[in-house]
């Protein structure tokens, strides 16, 4: 662990400190740490690899090198926030004067830190959200703030994650049922393993299956959402981004289930045994509580998907180069859920008929299968 008093010690051997992470050490050897962007890059690498003490140290270097001008990026308050986040994650002591500096720089980001810190210490979700308010709006959709906020909100709103067939509703209910539609997409010329996957779900004879290709999706978007939707769809940087754009529109228009073409539902029996039918929205989470957008279900004209659409278009017009997972992928779902839950707490909307199932449920329903195309085409994460 790095002691705080060493922060200003010029004799600190950075190379020795960075020996715990060869990637960070390599950047330091090439670029040093006397430049803001170099220190920031080193800190990001360390944080990603969970060397939280070392990451906090280099975020502080970057923050000290910052002019504190609102035109210099990365912004000063995000550097200081990143440092404090690493201290929180590493269960390391936090300097209260730095927390106060953060408050002076950006109150919503300060609220985020205070709420998260309170939740980790006291596990009181309601009090944490009261401190945080709608702080997630200061961040791009899908950043860690959305995931942290959603994790806390789940303590308040998410029903028992072990819901099963026992919770299925019968008779008249005051909610809509997710239609038994299943939608999938492949832009053009699907390889044999993808064609086989389409046939597999067709032969399951459980869903009303519809598979879109690029040409049909382009025309469908134009007919139902106009020229702007068609233009954004066609301007996607990668087929995965185009599929992200299409899925929100299709499910919100028809209602039903979306499934990516490179995964499959194990069986209709498994689906029925695990997925509860007494909700208007069913989302599944990764182990880190990121919302899966490769498999989800919703009614049509959903308040959650309507909010997804807002972020989808905003990001497509204002943040065209944003990481796909943030711009059009899981990030927009987390933001929509956070907004709906926040408005519910404020008494401005009804509690959504929604359940979030954990990663164990996801992998109980879904399985992967070998696909060759991933080795032949650039992965969406490289865009």
| CATH number of the domain within which 331 lies | 3.90.550
pLDDT of residue 171: 35
Contact (CB, 8 A) for 239 and 260: no
Asked whether residue 111 falls in the same domain as residue 220, the answer is no
d(CA 122, CA 163): 27
Element (H, E) at 354: strand 354-357
Domain boundary among 127, 157, 187: 157
d(CA 190, CA 328): 22
Asked whether residue 373 falls in the same domain as residue 336, the answer is yes
Among 14-23, 45-54, 210-219, 374-383, the least confident range = 374-383
Asked whether residue 368 falls in the same domain as residue 244, the answer is yes
Asked whether residue 112 falls in the same domain as residue 247, the answer is no
Asked whether residue 83 falls in the same domain as residue 220, the answer is no
166: pLDDT strictly greater than 60: no
d(CA 313, CA 311): 6
d(CA 210, CA 229): 20
d(CA 102, CA 108): 10
Q: At what angle do helices 107-122 and 76-89 cross, to 10 degrees?
A: 0
Asked whether residue 39 falls in the same domain as residue 119, the answer is yes
- How would residue 164 be classed by pLDDT, with cut points 50, 70 and 90? very low
Phi, psi of 331 (to 5 degrees): -60, -40
d(CA 245, CA 252): 12
Structure-token match 């199932």, residue found: 357
The beta strand positions in 158-289, using DSSP E, are 181-185, 208-212, 256-259, 263-265, 281-284
Q: Is residue 163 in some structural domain?
A: no
Domain boundary among 99, 130, 157: 157
Q: Is residue 162 in some structural domain?
A: no
Contact (CB, 8 A) for 259 and 151: no
**pLDDT tens digit sequence for 270-290:** 999 999 988 999 999 999 999
Asked whether residue 99 falls in the same domain as residue 202, the answer is no
Asked whether residue 233 falls in the same domain as residue 145, the answer is no
Mean pLDDT of the chain: 92
5: pLDDT strictly greater than 50: no
Asked whether residue 47 falls in the same domain as residue 106, the answer is yes
Q: Cβ neighbours of residue 234 under 8 Å, at least 6 residues apart? A: 218, 242
**pLDDT tens digit sequence for 71-117:** 999 999 999 999 999 999 999 999 999 999 999 999 999 999 999 99
Q: Is residue 166 in some structural domain?
A: no
Q: Is residue 164 in some structural domain?
A: no
Q: Is the N-terminal amide bond of 74 cis, ω within 30° of 0?
A: yes
Pairing between β-strand 256-259 and β-strand 208-212 as defined by DSSP bridges: unpaired
Domain boundary among 157, 189, 216: 157
- How would residue 378 be classed by pLDDT, with cut points 50, 70 and 90? low
Q: Is residue 39 in some structural domain?
A: yes
Range of the domain at 148: 4-157
- How would residue 239 be classed by pLDDT, with cut points 50, 70 and 90? very high
d(CA 337, CA 344): 10
9: pLDDT strictly greater than 90: no
Asked whether residue 233 falls in the same domain as residue 343, the answer is yes
- How would residue 346 be classed by pLDDT, with cut points 50, 70 and 90? very high
Q: Is residue 238 in some structural domain?
A: yes
Contact (CB, 8 A) for 352 and 304: yes
Q: Is residue 165 in some structural domain?
A: no
> Does the CA dihedral 138-141-144-148 come out positive or negative?
positive
The total number of structural domains that make up the chain: 2
- How would residue 176 be classed by pLDDT, with cut points 50, 70 and 90? confident
Q: Is residue 244 in some structural domain?
A: yes
CATH label of the domain that carries residue 17 = 1.25.40
Element (H, E) at 367: strand 366-368
Asked whether residue 186 falls in the same domain as residue 40, the answer is no
Other C-beta atoms lying within 10 Å of the C-beta of residue 311: 24
Asked whether residue 138 falls in the same domain as residue 259, the answer is no
| Torsion region of 29: left, alpha or beta (phi above 0 gives left; psi -120 to 50 gives alpha) | alpha
Full DSSP string of 77-125: HHHHHHHHHHHHHTT----HHHHHHHHHH-HHHHHHHHHHHHHHHH--H
């Amino acid at each position: 662990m790095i002691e705080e008093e060493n922060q200003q010690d010029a004799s600190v051997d950075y190379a020795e400190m960075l020996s715990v992470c060869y990637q960070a050490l390599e950047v330091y050897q090439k670029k040093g740490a006397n430049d803001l962007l170099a220190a920031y890059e080193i800190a990001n690498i360390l944080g990603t690899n969970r060397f939280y003490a070392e990451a906090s140290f280099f975020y502080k270097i970057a923050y000290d090198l910052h002019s504190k001008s609102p035109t210099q990026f990365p912004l000063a308050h995000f550097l200081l926030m990143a440092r404090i986040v690493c201290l929180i994650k590493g269960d390391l002591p936090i300097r209260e004067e730095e927390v106060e500096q953060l408050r002076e720089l950006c109150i919503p980001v300060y609220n985020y830190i205070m709420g998260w810190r309170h939740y980790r210490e006291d596990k009181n979700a309601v009090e944490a959200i009261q401190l945080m308010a709608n702080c997630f709006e200061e961040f791009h959709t899908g950043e860690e703030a959305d995931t942290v906020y959603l994790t806390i909100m789940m303590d308040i709103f998410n029903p028992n994650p072990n819901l099963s067939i026992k919770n299925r509703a019968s008779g008249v209910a005051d909610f809509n049922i997710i239609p038994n539609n299943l939608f999938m997409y492949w832009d053009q010329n699907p390889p044999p393993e993808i064609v086989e996957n389409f046939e597999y779900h067709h032969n399951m004879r459980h869903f009303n299956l519809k598979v879109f290709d690029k040409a049909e999706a382009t025309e469908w978007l134009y007919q139902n959402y106009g020229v702007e939707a068609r233009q954004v769809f066609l301007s996607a940087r990668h087929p995965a981004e185009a599929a992200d754009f299409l899925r929100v529109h299709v499910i919100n228009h028809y209602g039903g289930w979306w499934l990516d073409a490179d995964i499959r539902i194990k069986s209709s029996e498994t689906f029925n045994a695990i997925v509860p039918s007494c909700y208007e929205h069913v989302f599944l989470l990764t182990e880190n509580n990121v919302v899966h957008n490769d498999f989800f279900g919703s009614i049509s004209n959903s308040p959650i998907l309507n909010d997804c659409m807002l972020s989808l278009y905003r990001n497509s017009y204002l943040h065209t180069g944003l990481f796909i997972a943030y711009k059009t992928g899981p990030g927009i779902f987390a933001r929509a859920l956070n907004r709906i839950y926040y408005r519910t707490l404020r008494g401005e909307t009804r509690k959504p008929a929604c359940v979030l199932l954990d990663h164990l449920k996801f992998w109980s329903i879904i399985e992967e299968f070998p696909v060759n195309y991933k080795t032949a085409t650039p992965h969406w994460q490289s865009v």
